[in-house]
A and B are shown apart, each in its own frame.
Chain A
């Protein structure tokens, strides 16, 4: 019987654990090995069935000290939605002032994550 395995590098923290998932012949997950915390095991499960990523980018600001405010998502979204979410974020232009933590888009594309500002941009 062939042992089916898939290797992962956990991206959750700088330890970058090398984690191996093994499957039986029906492709059913049998074992996860190599993680040094429970989050790593959960990450690999998610990576197998529904890979998710957080993204960080920026949004245009008019009348501010900076032409941009940096933003990120409040939680990870499905990997295949990354570019669709980028397109949504690009549609937005804000008027200064913007404050760290401001919700720029709530529940973006119905994915359950908010786009929030990660910096203050005061008005000039």
Chain B
């Protein structure tokens, strides 16, 4: 049994940033466990640029952004094991992992879950039709094209306007494929406006809102799809069917935080984020188990993942020093137009970073934080989109009193 102060599960952007920050805060006994044979996580296949604008004030590609953190990990001599899959974690912070060296057992004082997220698949959205080859999730297609030099198809339909789908529309076009259309079931795009602009509009790729795939055709290989318009309840409207010939269907229909390990340890999940319920310290309901990054809630920008992991690292360092963290009895409630918040509970004793998403697009609105019916803070926004995570720094002096009263987050048109 190997003993460590901190075990970090997942060596992607969140895990790397947490490790570097912990070491800077004087925590020496750290081990990162990574399933792939390289550190860097999903950034390794995100070869497009635009990463790091907030953090490094320059537009880097995904691999470059990851390399900066990997270089720090190596320079600071932080231990890591790659090609190592964690099989189990327990509430008393025992970790079982397997690698070519065999089965490894660890005992940690704190576990940081930075396991990232997974893609929703065809099964998750139940598209009818046959089951031919040629139906890929966007991230899988991206891995084939950007890591393995395998072109996935020539004539492509993309379902879902999430950022990875948009990025793949451009990528496939650059590689000589014809992207016929991007379909989005919602009446507004799921990805960032800049990606609609530079990935679709630049290449004249049409985006059809309120449309979805209602049939998949082909035997061995995909031959075509049927596309239908949908009504407000997302039900296909009869008579609107249109057939597209294509050899590839790329699905960009959402990401789900990866929490199988968390569940084993008894970590409670939030049905909205599909990630752990955490307090302002990013601590889950299991003492000493923390989560950040896409494992906690799906982010649109890696810069925010790094920041979140660094905030988490400060709390973990505090936890190691004190042996525990203050209780967090104040719940953060939301009105029906707020998708979720992270954290979901706070102590009321310190400043914290509030992350949230609105459920539908707003123009000229304000995000309001109130307690006991009194407005504590309002953030005015020219626009608020579900695609863009909103972050608000809430400082302790914003609180009315020290009494335990839940915070309420709402959005109002102004």
Contacts and interface: CB of A to CB of B under 8 A. Distances in A.
Interface of A: 9-14, 16, 18, 53-58, 60, 66-68, 70-72, 79, 82-83, 86, 100, 118-120
A66 B47 CA distance: 14
Given A16-B194, A18-B383, A53-B198, 12 more contacts: A9-B197, A12-B194, A14-B50, A53-B202, A56-B47, A56-B49, A57-B175, A67-B148, A68-B149, A70-B47, A100-B64, A120-B67
Nearest to B304: A14
Interface string B141-161: 000001111000000000000
A67 B144 CA distance: 11
B241 interface: no
Interface in B237-290: none
For the complex of A and B, the 6 pairs showing the least CB-CB separation, nearest first, are A16-B193, A70-B47, A119-B63, A118-B61, A67-B149, A16-B194
Which one of A14, A16, A53, A60 has the highest number of Cβ atoms from chain B below 10 Å of its Cβ?
A14
Contacts of A55: 174
Interface string B319-331: 0000000000000
B304 to A, nearest CB: 9
A68 B147 contact: yes
Contacts of B174: 55, 57, 82-83, 86
A70 B194 contact: no
A79 B202 contact: yes
15 contacts: A9-B197, A13-B53, A14-B50, A14-B301, A14-B388, A16-B197, A53-B202, A54-B59, A57-B175, A58-B47, A70-B47, A71-B47, A83-B174, A86-B174, A118-B64
Contacts of B67: 100, 119-120
A9 B64 contact: no
A118 to B, nearest CB: 4
A88 to B, nearest CB: 13
Contacts of A100: 63-64, 67
Nearest to A34: B382
Which one of B194, B197, B198 has the highest number of Cβ atoms from chain A below 10 Å of its Cβ?
B194
B44 to A, nearest CB: 7
A21 B342 CA distance: 38
A34 to B, nearest CB: 9
A9 B196 contact: yes
Nearest to A68: B149
B150 to A, nearest CB: 9
B194 A10 contact: yes
A58 B47 CA distance: 8
A9 B50 CA distance: 15
Contacts of B193: 9, 16, 18
Given A9-B193, A118-B64, A119-B67, A72 B49 contact: yes
B63 A70 contact: yes
A104 to B, nearest CB: 13
Contact of A11 (B44, B146, B197): B197
Contacts of B64: 100, 118-119
Contacts of A66: 147
A72 B197 contact: no
Contacts of B44: 119
A23 B25 CA distance: 55
Interface string B197-229: 110001000000000000000000000000000
Contacts of A86: 174
A81 to B, nearest CB: 13
Contacts of B314: none
A62 B410 CA distance: 55
Contacts of A82: 174
B192 interface: yes
B194 A14 contact: yes
Given A16-B192, A72-B49, A11 B198 contact: yes
B131 interface: no
Contacts of B146: 58, 68, 70
Given A119-B63, A119-B67, A120-B67, A11 B194 contact: yes
B48 interface: yes
B5 interface: no
B61 A14 contact: no
B105 interface: no
Contacts of A13: 53, 194
A118 B198 contact: no
A93 B47 CA distance: 18
B149 A118 contact: no
A12 B193 CA distance: 11
B28 interface: no
